Amino acid sequence: MKTKYILTTFILFLSAIFSYAPLKAQLVIDVEGGAVFTGYNDVRIPGNTGTLFSLKDDLKPNPAAFIRLRVGYTLGTRHTISLLYAPLTVRSEGTFNNPVDFEGETFPAGGPVDAQYTFNSYRLTYRYDIVKRPRTEFGLGFTAKIRDAEIALESEEASANKTNVGFVPIINFRFHYQLNEKLGLLLEGDALAAPQGRAEDVLLAATYKISDKVGIKAGYRILEGGADNDEVYNFSLFNYAAIGAFITF
């Protein structure tokens, strides 16, 4: 009920902005893709009784590709609302050196194990540009994030999975500096830390303006965070080699 109340309040707030914003508006579609690499991925489920293991060191992650899609709508010159779809699935395989207790099942040492780590993210963001100049833009806002996560292990002897769907409020920020007429520097993301855990999703990229309507970007994205409670212990870091394009209508 609390999650529904927060989302309903946020949507009503955004509806009010649409109602009273100037007529001038623009639509931006931002597509990003590339390769993702596991920095670390430590798991213990249940969080207080399971066996701690690594999906990076105990099992070896396979190379993975990613794609993200954001649709944004800027009202006037300073108010931006956007929707982001950011799926992520990384598969690992190998053998455990010691038995692993995971979600009520025991995976013995020495046998082949396949693992799947999924962390899909759906985000609704509102941001206000505090600074809006020809060469410099800086904005702060709020992101309502829905995470759809799953960790699964499978071997010849056992299989188990843990799913988690939840709401996470995060601070959004964006800084863009235009170095010259074509080339720019972009720093943007969502980040927040709390006693229950933390989450950071940040991109540092160079941008290139092909035309007034089309631009491209290339850079490095970091996705890091996790939670530590009786139900789940999981902290992970992923490094992204990212390229993308954005089109303004």
Output the CA torsion 7→11→12→13 (10° steps): 100
The whole-angstrom separation of Cα 167 and Cα 148 is 9
Sort strands 183-194 and 25-44 into parallel, antiparallel or unpaired: unpaired
**pLDDT tens for each residue of 132-152:** 999 999 999 999 999 999 999
Domains contained in the chain, CATH given: 2-248 (2.40.128.90)
pLDDT tens profile 192-232? 988 878 999 999 999 999 999 999 999 999 999 999 999 99
Give the pTM.
0.89
